[in-house]
């Protein structure tokens, strides 16, 4: 369910919404790396700035969901999206998945506006990402036929770690994390009807593997996921240095 065996091209074809969202993450992250005044103006215009929302700039409930500045920030949110969102895009289909992702993120940003001071500003997809875990949590307890025990344990373990790290890490929008989780959970009964039998196969069928490793068997798919894993390691280590 959370194991990615697709090639890069197959992933884009099977999960277009997830692919587009990840591309938007990377686009804005690269844009903000450009040391120009205009890029900073764009950031200030799109970030979740409570005073701006109070002045009627309601787009700020949505736009922060797609913005990241730090490398580790965009890396972990994008990796989480790539690992945990495809199964939901397939299960819910594109329109409902978009409602889940944006709905959770907006719910988290509204809570941030209501509970944080006017001078507070924030960016990041963490509220929407936690919304994914929120609907998974709903499925674990109220749609038990849709997720097997092994994947349920994975979800609960990652969720517990994520919540703990929310309170231990610096510069974290705690409100967005918690209310993104709640938002995804509340959207569960609206987006998922009662029906058993969620199938955990993927669209992509990998070639049968050989017992002997050979360099000639390495494909673009292997290189892509190897580089992705390497970037995850760099992002993780960057949080300690």
190-228 pLDDT per residue, tens:
999 876 444 444 333 444 444 444 545 555 555 545 555
Distance, in Å, from the CA atom of 184 to the CA atom of 176, rounded to the nearest integer, reads 12
- Residue 101 backbone dihedrals phi, psi, to 5 degrees: -65, -50
Sign of CA dihedral 22, 26, 31, 35: positive
Answer whether residue 207 is part of any domain: no
Give pLDDT, residue 211.
40
Closest CA to 124 of 52, 186, 32: 32
Nearest to 182 by CA among 104, 65, 101, 84: 104
Is residue 192 included in any domain, yes or no? yes
Kindly state whether residue 205 falls inside one of the protein's structural domains.
Answer: no
pLDDT of residue 170: 82
The pLDDT value recorded for residue 43 is 95
Looking at residue 95, what is its pLDDT?
Answer: 97
Q: What is the pLDDT of residue 219?
A: 55
- Domain membership of residue 137 (yes or no) is yes
Q: What is the per-residue pLDDT for 226?
A: 54
> Which CATH number does the domain housing residue 73 bear?
1.20.1540.10
| Domain-located, residue 95 | yes
Residues annotated catalytic, as ranges: 126, 177
Task: Note whether residue 120 is domain-resident.
Answer: yes
- Give a yes or no: residue 2 inside a domain: no
pLDDT at 232: 47
pLDDT of 193 reads: 84
- Residue 224, CA distances (Å) to 164, 218, 228 in order: 31, 11, 6
pLDDT < 70 stretches in the chain:
195-241
- Residue from 129, 123, 127 nearest 31 by CA: 123
- Assigned domain for 61 exists: yes
Number of domains in the chain: 1
Q: Which domain holds residue 141?
A: 8-199+216-238
């Amino acid at each position: 369910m959370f194991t990615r065996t697709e090639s890069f091209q197959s992933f884009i074809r099977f999960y277009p919404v997830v692919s587009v969202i990840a591309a938007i993450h990377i686009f804005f992250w690269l844009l903000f790396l450009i040391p120009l005044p205009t890029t900073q103006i764009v950031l200030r215009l799109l970030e979740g700035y409570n005073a701006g929302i109070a002045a009627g700039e309601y787009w700020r409930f949505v736009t922060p969901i797609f913005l990241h500045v730090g490398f580790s920030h965009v890396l972990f949110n994008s990796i989480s999206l790539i690992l945990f969102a495809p199964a939901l895009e397939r299960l819910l289909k594109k329109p409902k998945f978009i409602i889940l992702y944006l709905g959770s993120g907006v719910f988290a940003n509204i809570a941030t506006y209501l509970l944080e001071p006017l001078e507070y500003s924030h960016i990041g997809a963490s509220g929407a990402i936690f919304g994914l875990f929120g609907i998974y949590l709903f499925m674990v307890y109220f749609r038990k036929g849709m997720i097997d025990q092994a994947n349920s344990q994975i979800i609960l373990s990652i969720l517990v770690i994520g919540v703990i790290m929310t309170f231990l890490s610096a510069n974290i929008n705690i409100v967005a994390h918690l209310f993104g989780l709640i938002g995804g959970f509340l959207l569960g009964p609206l987006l998922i009807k009662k029906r058993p039998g969620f199938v955990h196969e993927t669209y992509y069928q990998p070639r049968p593997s050989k017992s002997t490793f050979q360099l000639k068997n390495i494909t673009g798919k292997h290189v892509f996921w190897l580089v992705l894993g390497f970037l995850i390691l760099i992002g993780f280590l960057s949080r300690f240095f």
